[in-house]
Amino acid sequence: MKTKFIITTIGVFFGFVFYVQAQQTPSPLINSFRTYKEMKAESKFNLNWISLGPTLNSARADVVQVDTAHPGTMYVGFGSGGLWKTVNNGLSWKSIFEEQAGFSIGDFAIAPSNPNILYIGTGENLKKPRNYTLPGTGMYRSNDAGKTWEHIGLEDSWSIAEIAVDPTNPNIVVVSVLGHLWTKNKNRGIYRTTDAGKTWEHVLYKDELTGANDIVISPMNPKIMYASLWEVYPGISGVNSGVYKSNDGGKTWTPCKNGLPTGPNVGRIGVSVSFT
């Protein structure tokens, strides 16, 4: 039996669009990284470090992506270990995100129309809040399959859970941001860019307690997108958790309420779209 959604018109609250410039006042994490780079450049020691552990368990692998244009090329992002790449079906791997202001990967995406264009959202995508995690420093883009990276904003987002890249235009990107995990934070919800991250629009925002954790594009129509909000603070559920739909490529969003659970016990929601 097919489930039918009744799409209600978007309220006035969601009609407001906030524009966020990629060049903002640097966050403390960005400032700390810049200080580290300066100290490293001035250091009289030129030491090469080799990882010796941990040896009993691996890091948390949060995202795996395969380059469909080159099936032997794969990427793996870790919650506390950066981004790794293989070009020989996993026989050998190379870390390609080491010299950046953060190594906690929330999500990673390959532009469908150009596999050389990559996006990273930093800050681990937690399945539930816990008493430790590694915050991120925003969004990054590579135009050369991971050889070099550019920081493209949202640096105080802390945790970027999902990235959706337009299938025909690699400069159009929509991301879901969980935000700070233990405090109120306005940098939550859905952000959208049409210029490869030079500017961002805050297209879906509920309140300082509610972030966005999932976002998908319909394979049948790229204008149709679904996203889920999660009231992540101060607990693991809340009345603001729910599913939203966009019919215009992420510009505007409306809640999907018909048939779905509501109330204070609604927590993290995963979203997927059928190919048929």
C-alpha distances (whole Å) from 53 to each of 77, 82, 101, 260 are 18, 15, 22, 45
Alpha-carbon distance of 105 to 94, in angstroms, equals 16
The pLDDT assigned to 24 comes to: 54
Least confident of 85-89, 130-134, 170-174: 130-134
pLDDT average, residue stretch 226-243:
90
Residue range 211-223, pLDDT digits in tens: 999 999 998 999 9
The pLDDT assigned to 149 comes to: 96
* pLDDT tier for residue 98 given thresholds of 50, 70 and 90: confident
pLDDT average, residue stretch 157-175:
95
Alpha-carbon distance of 66 to 61, in angstroms, equals 14
Phi, psi of 150 (to 5 degrees): -125, 130
C-beta of residue 191 within 8 angstroms of C-beta of residue 162: no
Residue 8, pLDDT above cutoff 70:
no
pLDDT average, residue stretch 228-257:
92
The pLDDT assigned to 68 comes to: 92
Residue 159: both structure tokens together: 């945790």
Task: State the chain's mean pLDDT as an integer.
Answer: 84
The pLDDT assigned to 143 comes to: 98
Domains of the chain: 12-22+57-256 (2.130.10.10)
Q: Are strands 82-86 and 74-78 parallel, antiparallel or unpaired?
A: antiparallel
Residue 162, pLDDT above cutoff 90:
yes
The pLDDT assigned to 2 comes to: 39
C-alpha distances (whole Å) from 244 to each of 66, 208, 247, 264 are 28, 18, 10, 18
pLDDT average, residue stretch 114-133:
83
The percent of residues in the chain predicted with pLDDT above 90, rounded, is 51
The pLDDT assigned to 129 comes to: 62
C-alpha distances (whole Å) from 65 to each of 10, 46, 123, 195 are 34, 35, 17, 23
Residues 6+ away with beta carbon under 8 Å from 256: 5, 7, 226, 242, 243, 244, 245
* pLDDT tier for residue 22 given thresholds of 50, 70 and 90: very low
Report the range out of 3-12, 81-90, 141-150, 176-185 with the highest average pLDDT. 141-150
Residue 14, pLDDT above cutoff 70:
no
Q: Are strands 242-246 and 254-256 parallel, antiparallel or unpaired?
A: antiparallel
